[in-house]
Structure 1
Amino acid sequence: MLKNVLAFAYLLLFSGVLYAQTADELVEQAKQLEKQMNEGVALARYKDAIRIQPDNLTALIGASELCSREGYRQKDSDEKVRNYDEAKAYAEEAIKLAPENADANYVMAVAMGRKALIAGAKEKVAASKEVKKYAELAIKFNPNYAKAYHVLGKWNYEVANLNTFEKAAAKMLFGGLPDGSLASAISNYEKCRKLDPSFVLNYLELARAYKENDEQDKTIEVLKKAVSLRSIYQDDADLKSQCKKMLEGLE
């Protein structure tokens, strides 16, 4: 009897190790697929890893980030929301596992920020404070986190451009929001550029901020640099196309 119990325990232990290794292998496959700019299949691999090992932190973070990107590509608003909600759910699990992990906090900021951009006034304002909180936590746990500075830049840009109704909603819900400014957005974007000069999306957003700030020379400089960059992420080709179109409208 004891021998059977020990054999069964060994089998469970061995199966656990096997599944953990399989999850890790799937995560490595997902990372390679991301490098190949095949993010749809990479996302599927991360989800497979999570099904095998629900507490695989790397898989949860990867799935959250790719769900946010997938949502951004969708044309249908319901599909966008579905992907962003999924991204948030994965981020929540990651933060439960590792509340001081910079990546976990970053993907939460991204998921909430993406959804806020397509939400109504009250939902947008309600999410805004959380986006800032998680972006700042990511920077707290990793002061050189380039993409977290980008999110903070986007937060400043959006808060600086809230319309009258959104400002009224902020005042009603929270007594107002922390100050966000175009100058702070530019500063955050430039910090991101310094830390990660290859991040194409940051160049597009920085150019938009400079353009709104009536700094045409800097807008053109940023756009010219953007179109010369090597594509790293699946959306980079489209982002560079947007930069090129914007540049042609200025020259």
Structure 2
Amino acid sequence: MRGMTALLIPFLAVRLVAAQTQSVASEIARGDSFHVALQPDKALVHYRAALALDSANYGALWKASRATVDVAKQLEGDASALKRRRDSLYVQARALAEAAVRANPNGAQGHSMIAQSLGRLSRTRGGKERVRFAKMIYDEAQRAIALDSTDDLAYHVLGAWHAEVKRLSGLQRFFAKTLFGAGFMDIANWNDAQRYLQHAVALNPRHIFHRLELAEIYVDVGKYSLAREQLRALHDLPIADVLDHEYKTRAATLLDDIKNEKDET
């Protein structure tokens, strides 16, 4: 009898591991379905359920980070409680992405999500805090692209990084140079801001935010005709992100604002 039990234990252990693996995959698949349906809060429930079964699952970690960012970026407004909640979610998203990188250092999505979560967080902060995040955002986005040259979101982050640094005030740029050295912040330029966003659009032309941010950069450099092209192109694109309705509204407002502007360059 003891011999039979000894034989059964490895068999049952294998069955248990197989069942758990299947459950993890099932939870991730359910989360993916809710992600496509633009319900990140529900997607996050399933990604966390997968992590409860396998806390080091790379896919569940970076997708939980993505869902957390999607939940956070819908919390708009300046009320103190809302800002604290939003920022805490971005911090959670960063932690999940960093855990994903620990689970799989060579996975592009983990690095990309660190860059995206920090990029979103930095936009809610003041100039000095924004500057403190700058090098981490840049390095993680570059790492993501080195691992996956088709990561359109990482290209977007890099393009936005160049634009955001160029938009810093003189005092903020002085602080940045003091913190990182003159050489690092001086790499920011409008040509790369355009180039990276153009590449993001080329990789994923149906992504509304790519086109909107590229249009805003064109406005910054006085290329109003190109800005209008992007703003008109995104008008009929399908909704595929939780903020796409808002992005379309912003695009329509910007298009109206620049409708009579002449190109400066």
TM-score by length of 2: 0.89
User: Are residue 239 (structure 1) and residue 247 (structure 2) matched?
Assistant: yes
Tell whether the 8 Å contact from 1:227 to 1:241 is kept in structure 2 after alignment.
Answer: no
Determine the C-alpha separation between the residues in 1 that align with 2:135 and 2:72. 21
| Pairing partner for 1:220 from 221, 228, 234 | 228
Summarize deviations over 1:80-118 as a string: whole Å, max 9, x none. Answer: 111111111111111011111111111111011111222
Q: CA deviation at 1:213?
A: 0.9
Determine the C-alpha separation between the residues in 2 that align with 1:70 and 1:187. 29
Which secondary structure does the structure 2 equivalent of 1:73 belong to? coil
Summarize deviations over 1:159-178 as a string: whole Å, max 9, x none. Answer: 11112332122122222333
Determine the C-alpha separation between the residues in 1 that align with 2:223 and 2:141. 27
Query: Which shows bigger deviation, 68-77 or 186-195?
Result: 68-77
What does residue 237 of structure 2 align with? 229
What does residue 195 of structure 2 align with? 187
What does residue 74 of structure 1 align with? 75
What does residue 96 of structure 2 align with? 90
What does residue 124 of structure 2 align with? 118
Determine the C-alpha separation between the residues in 2 that align with 1:198 and 1:138. 21
What does residue 196 of structure 1 align with? 204
Tell whether the 8 Å contact from 1:39 to 1:66 is kept in structure 2 after alignment.
Answer: yes
Q: CA deviation at 1:245?
A: 1.9
Which residue type is aligned with residue 191 of structure 2?
A
Q: CA deviation at 1:64?
A: 0.7
Tell whether the 8 Å contact from 1:121 to 1:165 is kept in structure 2 after alignment.
Answer: no
Tell whether the 8 Å contact from 1:132 to 1:155 is kept in structure 2 after alignment.
Answer: yes
Tell whether the 8 Å contact from 1:34 to 1:233 is kept in structure 2 after alignment.
Answer: no
Determine the C-alpha separation between the residues in 2 that align with 1:3 and 1:159. 69
Q: CA deviation at 1:14?
A: 2.5
Which residue type is aligned with residue 92 of structure 2?
E
| Higher Cα Rg, which structure | 2
Tell whether the 8 Å contact from 1:220 to 1:247 is kept in structure 2 after alignment.
Answer: yes
Runs ≥4 residues deviating over 6 A: none
Tell whether the 8 Å contact from 1:108 to 1:134 is kept in structure 2 after alignment.
Answer: yes
Determine the C-alpha separation between the residues in 1 that align with 2:152 and 2:248. 19
Q: CA deviation at 1:41?
A: 0.8
Tell whether the 8 Å contact from 1:67 to 1:84 is kept in structure 2 after alignment.
Answer: yes
What does residue 106 of structure 1 align with? 112
What does residue 175 of structure 2 align with? 169
What does residue 146 of structure 1 align with? 152
Summarize deviations over 1:10-59 as a string: whole Å, max 9, x none. Answer: 44433222122111001111111122222221121111111111121111
What does residue 37 of structure 2 align with? 36
Query: Which shows bigger deviation, 1-10 or 94-103?
Result: 1-10
Structure 1 residues not aligned, in runs of 5+:
none
Determine the C-alpha separation between the residues in 2 that align with 1:121 and 1:212. 19
What does residue 127 of structure 1 align with? 133
Q: Percent identity?
A: 24
Determine the C-alpha separation between the residues in 2 that align with 1:51 and 1:120. 36
Structure 2 residues not aligned, in runs of 5+:
77-81, 260-265
Determine the C-alpha separation between the residues in 1 that align with 2:231 and 2:219. 11
